[in-house]
């Protein structure tokens, strides 16, 4: 098994050189919210920066300022109790349950 040769430079390693080696190249991405708060986030160049970010001052959605404004992410559709109920039961089943409950209530009254 051949021994690996470890090359060492005789030059002392500067902190700048070390930083370049340790950290991936980064990009400053400006964001701004509707209340005109602006802030900058740092992302690695190879990681795509998100189009929106929560404003650290007011919590509103802030849009990226360095590119064409992207459409705001669509909120999830709100599902009502009725929608969830319909996932578990069919209408005939619900009608049957309702009739059963009504019989019970009328019987007790
Ligand atoms: Zn804000």
Q: Which fold has domain 20-64?
A: Rubrerythrin, domain 2 (2.20.28)
| DSSP code, position 109 | -
What does the pLDDT read at residue 71? Answer: 62
> How far apart are the CA of 61 and the centre of ligand 1, in A?
8
Residues with CB under 5 A from ligand 1 (ion): 33, 35, 37, 55, 57-58
> How far apart are the CA of 35 and the centre of ligand 1, in A?
5
Condensed to tens digits (0 to 9), the pLDDT of residues 41-95 reads 998 888 888 999 999 999 999 999 987 555 666 778 888 999 999 999 999 999 9
Q: Which is nearest to 33 in space by CA: 80, 69, 79, 74?
A: 69
| Domain spans in the chain, listed from the N-terminal domain onward | 20-64, 78-109
CB 18, CB 51: distance < 8 Å: no
> How far apart are the CA of 76 and the centre of ligand 1, in A?
22
């Amino acid at each position: 098994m051949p021994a690996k040769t470890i090359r060492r430079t005789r030059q002392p390693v500067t902190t700048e050189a070390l930083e370049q080696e340790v950290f991936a190249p980064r990009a400053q991405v400006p964001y701004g919210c509707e209340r005109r708060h602006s802030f900058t986030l740092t992302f690695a160049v190879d990681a795509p920066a998100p189009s929106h970010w929560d404003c650290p001052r007011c919590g509103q959605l802030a849009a990226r300022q360095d590119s064409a404004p992207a459409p705001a992410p669509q909120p999830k559709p709100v599902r009502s109790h009725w929608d969830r109920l319909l996932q578990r039961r069919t209408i005939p089943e619900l009608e049957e349950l309702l009739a059963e409950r009504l019989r019970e209530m009328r019987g007790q009254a």
